[in-house]
Structure 1
């Protein structure tokens, strides 16, 4: 019996570390997607579209600020932690301290821009205590996101779907519990308060077991990296990350400003569904960064393998979502079917050119060709945000989706020859 179970496990779990990591990150995306869909479906049923739209805008703002406060340590840990050796715990601890300080600064700088949001205005009525709560919320948000990169960089990716699955369940439970008591802010509070217990449990596991084990396993292949190398990576790649974050999280805020809370509810639901696939691409591609850093002699082989596997999985998923878009949106309500179906189909199609873009960026992170990533990312972000700002008031949320698809496709066509040469 034991031999049979071992054989099944060997068939289901790939031997190659990159494939195992990619599988765990794909499972994480699936778990997060299912729970995320359920969460916003319940939110749409229990809260008004105006509350959903306003809460989505605030959550987007918090994610944007958290990404700024991360100082790109997410990608930096994924790139350098795999070869940190005995310094693994020190790397992670320094990263946490750095983002804690940055969170305070970012929250205080952003506070004047958040005052127009009803939930923020409600907190600010409590004076310094309300400000402290907002700063603490951003700190929790930032460290919560960063802990995934620590697990990925320590080659303990299997724990990431377990952690995010627990968060998704707690968030959903609190969403229902808060519907009656906090009808205007329950969405935000359920998101924030669910993070706290998961944050404590995950970091107890990381610092007590996973990082010490990784330090022992990677000691023989520790990479000698100067502070200048790390600083250069953080700076340039951080600028690229800010560009990517702006494209994803400034758009809902832009829709609120240019079209109103209700329009943003219809936009945000469709955008979130498509974003699940995009997040899956980014997460799975990070396995190339981890294993490429440890096995640079196999970089061409790893790149080709990852590109092929992602395409085989993503193509049928895109087709299914396009065909089933009305059924998916019907779970949110008839109004979402009427206003979001076409937009969902368009933004989901953009996932296909994104495969080329994201794998190209992961490859260049391994090679530390960060100037190229920065140039491409700001071309993407500047084009999408600029054109959306112009056409959104006249053509509505569908204009944003169409611009996103067109820009991603053109950039992917430009990058494809370079990626093909790298694979050879």
Structure 2
């Protein structure tokens, strides 16, 4: 089995991306478990709300540059490679800083539950967390583009471990409040990103030099990425980033804390199919043979056991945080586990269509699912509670899976 994975580029990089995801999720789980035991729930709710906003800002601002990296970096010469990566990082992170600052100023006026952003320190934390997240996402895709996902694994484990260690030190020293959670979240991100830029990237592409020279030459390609990959990514990732924000806006920060823990626990399932989809797309951009059935088999093999565990023992797992998290999030977790099946179907379909250049088809499917999910979430949250977000997510993904199935059957019958 191990020899097969080592020989098969798709399987090897899928496993490495998933190992990165699983390791990050496991350490992230430990991070929030430590926070839940050492800090008040109100503080955790505020911190998760700010982190949720930073995820939305980063998603909106990264311009689809990660997939552009996967598409263009394979085979690029040293000079071109340096220009592509430099332009992507500078423009993506710069736009993220501007958008996060604007969002921090606007949100308190739009939704009262975000009044904490009026504090200058909270606004600064939002900007820093958003920029760090964008840089991290783009750097991950550089490694994926080179089918060198071992670098992504090492980087993300160091990042997640640094967060846990920093939080442990701060709470042991007697510090408390949402600021501690945010500080422990962002400082390791800045440190690991700096190390990646200074050490890891030069090893990945010897002779590469990052800088501002030639960025203007990349604007045309970035515009193409914005019209293609970025719109697809926004529609695909929008609901996952916006759901915690909607929960906060409709139900408050404390309710979002309960939602966020259940969502984070289920995310180990939702991260599998995107990981395989990214590896699948990278294989095809490197002109390597990659079959959709093989990718689906990898997803099924990795998703099945943890999905069964979460469905049967989810209440006990959430109870590790506190009895309150289990009581409030147990049903939601079960709903999210069920949604992992249609989510995998739609993620692989989008990766397949993207590799064929069917960008409009990808966008239409993702927009349909996002519209259903976000609309139903907004309408149902006040009356149903946090479970509404899970039901809406399941509904959107199920409709998308039906569309994929109908299209597949129609093509076979044509």
What TM-score do the two structures reach when normalised by structure 1? 0.87
Aligned: 1:17 with 2:17: no
Contact 1:74 1:149 in 2 (8 A): yes
Q: How does 1:179-218 map to 2 (within 5 A)?
A: 179=171, 180-212=174-206
Alignment-derived partner of residue 377 in structure 1: 366
Contact 2:54 2:127 in 1 (8 A): no
Contact 2:93 2:131 in 1 (8 A): yes
> In structure 2, which of residues 387, 394, 403 is the aligned counterpart of residue 405 of structure 1?
394
Judged with a 3 Å threshold, the aligned counterparts in structure 2 of structure 1 residues 325 and 133 are, in CA distance, closer, same or farther, namely closer
CA distance in 2 between partners of 1:83 and 1:362 (Å): 21
CA distance in 1 between partners of 2:221 and 2:148 (Å): 25
Alignment-derived partner of residue 48 in structure 2: 56
What CA deviation, in whole Å up to 9, does each residue of 1:153-177 have, x standing for no partner? 1221111111111111110122223
Contact 1:41 1:332 in 2 (8 A): yes
Q: How does 1:258-273 map to 2 (within 5 A)?
A: 258-273=250-265
- Identify which range, 108-117 or 239-248, moves more after superposition: 108-117
Alignment-derived partner of residue 246 in structure 2: 254
CA distance in 2 between partners of 1:137 and 1:316 (Å): 33
Aligned: 1:144 with 2:139: no
Judged with a 3 Å threshold, the aligned counterparts in structure 2 of structure 1 residues 415 and 13 are, in CA distance, closer, same or farther, namely closer
What CA deviation, in whole Å up to 9, does each residue of 1:249-305 have, x standing for no partner? 211111112112221111111111112221222122101110111226x35xx2121
- The alignment partner of 1:295 has SS state of coil
Alignment-derived partner of residue 214 in structure 2: none
Alignment-derived partner of residue 169 in structure 2: 177
Q: How does 1:11-160 map to 2 (within 5 A)?
A: 11=3, 13-86=5-78, 87-115=80-108, 117=114, 120-123=117-120, 134-160=126-152
> In structure 2, which of residues 335, 338, 348 is the aligned counterpart of residue 359 of structure 1?
348
Aligned: 1:243 with 2:240: no
Judged with a 3 Å threshold, the aligned counterparts in structure 2 of structure 1 residues 422 and 154 are, in CA distance, closer, same or farther, namely farther
Deviation at 1:32, TM superposition (A): 1.0
> In structure 2, which of residues 303, 306, 309 is the aligned counterpart of residue 317 of structure 1?
306
- Identify which range, 72-81 or 204-213, moves more after superposition: 204-213
Alignment-derived partner of residue 159 in structure 2: 167
Alignment-derived partner of residue 378 in structure 2: 389
CA distance in 1 between partners of 2:359 and 2:25 (Å): 30
What CA deviation, in whole Å up to 9, does each residue of 1:158-214 have, x standing for no partner? 111111111111101222233332423211111111112111112223331102389
Judged with a 3 Å threshold, the aligned counterparts in structure 2 of structure 1 residues 74 and 46 are, in CA distance, closer, same or farther, namely same
Alignment-derived partner of residue 330 in structure 1: 319
Q: How many residues align?
A: 398
Judged with a 3 Å threshold, the aligned counterparts in structure 2 of structure 1 residues 228 and 363 are, in CA distance, closer, same or farther, namely farther
> In structure 2, which of residues 334, 339, 342 is the aligned counterpart of residue 345 of structure 1?
334
What CA deviation, in whole Å up to 9, does each residue of 1:377-398 have, x standing for no partner? 1111111111111111011111
Judged with a 3 Å threshold, the aligned counterparts in structure 2 of structure 1 residues 196 and 313 are, in CA distance, closer, same or farther, namely same
Unaligned 5+ segments in structure 2 are 210-217
CA distance in 1 between partners of 2:281 and 2:230 (Å): 16
Contact 2:272 2:303 in 1 (8 A): no
CA distance in 2 between partners of 1:392 and 1:74 (Å): 33
Judged with a 3 Å threshold, the aligned counterparts in structure 2 of structure 1 residues 184 and 355 are, in CA distance, closer, same or farther, namely closer
Unaligned 5+ segments in structure 1 are 1-7, 125-129, 216-225
Alignment-derived partner of residue 416 in structure 1: 405
Deviation at 1:12, TM superposition (A): 6.8
Deviation at 1:421, TM superposition (A): 8.6
What CA deviation, in whole Å up to 9, does each residue of 1:109-143 have, x standing for no partner? 2132344646533325xxxxx86665444333321
CA distance in 1 between partners of 2:367 and 2:63 (Å): 17
